[in-house]
Amino acid sequence: MDIGGNDHAYEWSMDGQRWVQNAQGDFTLQQVASQPVADALDLDFAAGARLAPDGRTYLPAAFSHCPRTGQALATVRYDPRRRWLPPYGNGSGRRVVESSCALDGAEQTLQALCRKLLASPTPSLNDHAEAVVAPRKNGLNFLVANLGGHREALFALDREGGLFLWQSRAKQWRPLLPQASPIGRCSLPNWAWGVALRPQGEQQHLILAGEEGACEVSVDPLSGRYRLQRCPGTALGAPGNLEARLLVPQRMPDGRTCLVERTADGWLEHPIEGAEALLGNLSAPLSQPASRRLLWIGEQGYLSVRLDEGLAAQWLSWPEGAKAMPEYGPPFVDGYGTWQLLFAESQQYCLRLDSDERKEGLARLGTGHLNLRFNVRLDTPWADNDEYTNPTTRDVIYPFVEFSDSQHLLSFCVRETSGLQKFFADEQAIDTEYRLERLGEPPLRMLLKVARPWNAQWFFFDNALWLYIDSSGALYRWNV
């Protein structure tokens, strides 16, 4: 540690950082590794600086106690329990948050927010929402990770390849610029637009799927720039994580379809059996750790990737004449297997994957655990409903994320529709209730008129619940 100064200011040089302390005792970070520091940065994220007891100013990371008060200073570190990966929290297509996901931060925020709002004289989401300006009007995807910093931070991606960092103290978005090649466009639908992380010590690199191929993005928050390493081609689905192996289904420039894997040494290719029949429009990957498998569900079939003695990938088509609708939700999983809802010309049924077993069922929306046939919750997709005690309406309840341990659900409800297929085909704005509820209890509601209300994203950051609605570009947060 080097200290120098005069009657007006002191200069502190510690661990490659140069701080200036003025006559009033306030510290300002001037440089990190000889690189100037921009204004309005969250210095705890960008440089590991510690927040002073006043809650407004920063102190050098090398300080363990406040020089004014003597109070111990909190260490800045990344907490993986506070990450949030689209589309539904853990980067998987399954819409269930449970203990194995280790998303404790989201669970605790949700429960605390419910208690706060229910105790309010006006217990509704409308009355407590704080509007936040989004970095773009439409086509955004939000994630919480530690991309190049010292703690978790909120990032936004847009469909054209823009990347933005939320500055919590300034309450504004900072665009991150490419050092060379930009990220490029992504055309995956919202329910399939997932990402993955490759750990780099306490930090991560971001794995993305795009129209120009899979890519890895590393961020330097101090300079506000990112570097990109791409595998040329066209990604057909979001990246998946299978026991720390990062995999993306992709069509290569020569027309071959394969899995590409990101490793420390670059990109590897793995063949897919039956790949000539593989089409795009795949769901976000479904992780099945017990069977060491990843699944991407498509309209015409599914891609299965297993780890045994090696990595084996296979495309399996649905029975002749049948198709899936991945936007209705992931397959239902029970103790007997994985059941995908299929639509044929004259029937609807659930097929147990890797078998010929079928169960007759009607169209439903689901999380992979919870099943909804319009307003009715069912234990299984093929269960019958007692219409005398629980009459079915034509209200569509669309589940985004189910917290199965605490029995909370984030969803929307649209009243008196003409059926699921017509509902998903409608492009007009419609009265929509976005909901936070504990199952079996009255929901907290936010009433809005939006088009394609399923193109929305709930996420958690900074002890708050956030909601982004794509058609309007609106972004809201609810603080605990």
- What pLDDT shows up at residue 4? 56
Please give the angle made by the CA atoms of 124, 454 and 141, to the nearest 5 degrees: 95
Q: Among 473, 476, 458, 474, which residue's Cα sits nearest to residue 144? A: 458
pLDDT for 304 equals: 97
Count of positions (residues) in the chain:
480
Instruction: Note the pLDDT tens digit of each residue in 118-138.
Output: 999 989 999 999 999 999 989
Per-residue pLDDT, 135: 97
pLDDT at 7: 61
Tell me which amino acid residue 328 is: Y
Distance CA(303)–CA(36), nearest Å, equals 48
Cβ-proximal residues to 136 (8 Å cutoff; 6+ apart), any chain: 156, 158, 162, 473
Distance CA(446)–CA(468), nearest Å, equals: 13
Complete DSSP assignment for 129-196: -EEE--SSSSSEEEEEE-SSSSS-EEEEEETTS-EEEEETTTTEEEEEEESSS--------GGG---E
Q: Convert the pLDDT of each residue in 46-58 to its tens digit.
A: 999 999 999 889 9
* Residue 34: per-residue pLDDT: 86
Bridge-partner residues for 296, per DSSP?
A: 303
The b-or-e profile of 68-87 (16+ CB within 10 A means b, else e) is eeeeebeebebebebbbbbb
Mean pLDDT of 173-198: 96
pLDDT at 280 over 80: no
Tell me the three state secondary structure of residue 258.
strand
Average confidence score pLDDT of the chain: 93
User: Which residue ranges make up each domain of the chain?
Assistant: 2-59
How far is C-alpha 243 from the geometric centre of its chain's CA atoms? 19
Backbone angles phi, psi at 192, to 5 degrees: -115, -5
pLDDT over 70 (residue 348): yes
pLDDT for position 177 = 97
Check whether the bond before 60 is cis (ω within 30° of 0): no
Percentage with pLDDT > 70 across the chain: 99
Q: Exposure pattern of 95-122 as b/e (b: 16+ CB <10 Å)?
A: bbbbeebebebbbbbbeebbeebeeeee
**For the chain, what percent of residues have pLDDT higher than 90?**
81
Phi and psi torsions of 433, nearest 5°: -105, 110
Q: What is the mean pLDDT of residues 211-226?
A: 96
Residue 50 contacts residue 63 (beta carbons within 8 Å)? yes
pLDDT(420) > 90: no
